[in-house]
Structure 1
Amino acid sequence: MHEISVGINNILKDITIDFISEEAMYLARKYGYAPYMVERYLRMLGYEEALKLIESFENFRKRIAILCNYLRYDCDKLSKKLENMNFVLKNIQWCNYCLYIETAPSSPSIGSTHEYLKGYYYVYRDQASLIPPLILNPEKNSITLDMCAAPGGKAAHIMLLMEDTGLLIANDISRRRSISLLSHFIRMGFKSYIVINENAIELVKKFGKEKFDYVLLDAPCSAEGGIMFDPSRKTKTSIEVLAKLVEREIKLLHTALQLVKRGGRVVYTTCSIAPEENEYVVTKVLEHYDGIEVEEPRLNYWSNGFTKFLNITFDYRVSKCIRIWPHRHFMEGYFICSLVKT
């Protein structure tokens, strides 16, 4: 492994799209997008499917998801209690202790029931957030790091998978956001954790190398996969801002791979559908490492990563990474990649 040196100018040279088609300009004006984003969709998916993606953002049916705290309460009993309050719940096929709300009553809200306040479940705005901890799959009594943990949904799921044993270090640079994380952990009755507030890129200086069995990196990103929740994302991220995000994501993943033990697993995830933040980032980091394997996903319900975009050929192994598309999978757009240090 060599130290990573990245620069905004080099990244911009790689990711800048040199030509915006008339089709992209038309769709960008019609739906209110930055033109480069629509051109990217056209080149990734072709016109017909790109249009389906854009329309899925416009007409997305939001499905609030529930993570049952099975360490504290029986999930079948929880489901019956919520159904008695007129919540209509559906099972999630790839997570047997997870549900989504088909319809909800006007009152109470899902975040104000006695069961919620007692810590029997966690509420997510979408099912996709449940997937990265399932891919991480931490064992009992392990030492696990969540590098960018607030507001705490994925960290709470990790705690369940570890059965509240071992130790979870839940880090977030924001003290304000960490208050939410801590309140959820207290509400749900977890004990095997420490919450810290550090710049995640600097964590090697705090802990040293190869200290963790598992590392989750839910990287701060453009959130382009969540346009249905925040339409400002259609224009918020200029190509220059995107390059800065990519630079930080590369540094964060480099740090994660230094922190994990040999034989340990790093899961890199973003709520972005941009290849620049996903396959590009993983490829750039893999260039600097020997002995890193990209794992086949434990769950195979979703799409694969791209191996080429624009004039860039990515590391062939990123085809094993997971892509979640709103128009294909009816969830928020996500990217998930599992890496093992051999």
Structure 2
Amino acid sequence: MSDALINGLAGAGGGIIAQLVTYPLQTVNTRQRTERDQKEERRTIGTLEQMYQIVKQEGWERLYGGFAPSLVGTAASQGVYYYFYQIFRNKAEAAALKRRRKGSGDGSVGILSSLVVAALAGCVNVLLTNPVWLVVTRMQTHTKKNRQRRTGLLSPEDAIPSAVEPPPFDTRHAIQEVYGEGGVLGFWRGVFPTLIMVSNPSIQFMLYETLLKKLKTRRLSSNEGSSNITAAEIFLLGAFAKLGATVVTYPLLVVRSRLHAKQIVADKRHLYRGTADAVAKMIRYEGCYGFYKGMGTKIVQSVLAAAVLFMVKEELVKGSRWFLTKGVVDPIKSTTR
């Protein structure tokens, strides 16, 4: 089994575990990012209180709205990303060794090359998986009130619950809704800010690789003479790297969520015709605050998810290599990038 395939499968497994742990936080954060009316900002409530309100008003299942397609998206996204990341990384390492043989460089992949590698893998991932995440956003932001509007069951007062329970909004309905709004190309709505957001994993992996390399070097230079990194250390490195990347790129995530969510046709202030239009209207009607709605929740969710993902992925890679080599593992190569 190739190194790229091992990393791709391990990344998919780590992503699924991280998704299981953090999905309710992701649902709450998606709703926070897509809140548009000023009256909705009444709720400067905490994340836990908002989770409680969702459970009370809509049921436990709404915290996991879109969970099935999200799992598919996570597995596909992490698998695609890590597979192509390892392929591009191998090429970058080969180029670095070639330069070293010619007397240029020390044979290691620099920070700039690491950024390019992560960006290329991210672009491939975005183009292949954007439709899945658009459907997931629709399902996460769909409330009981939305279902009543869709089926004509919502009372004029907008607050009186209907006696007739509307049908559930499932993956099929979300796909039909997206297709009805924009056809096949509608599934790539918001792809532009998403492509720009490849800077997030680029920054994340740059920080992660840099910190991991320094930790390995320090460990080798110590009396222990081993570069083995523990699962707890991987957890902390992944958390710190994701924290830095999230703070820098969060406004792009908000814009993407607004474009992925169902458009409010009746209100031109909130009808976004593209990335530039969304940015302009958010600045005009919401100010800078609009670009950072729910960032606290996102930091907790993304940092926890990334830390779990890195930790599980590294352990899966180690286990796979041990299994394939029947327990003969080079300690220096056992920790992957």
* Category of TM-score, reference length = shorter chain: under 0.3
Greater RCO between the two (CA within 8 Å, min separation 6)? 2
TM-score, structure 2 as length reference: 0.25
Q: Which has the higher helix share?
A: 2
- Structure 1 or 2, whichever has the larger Rg, is 2
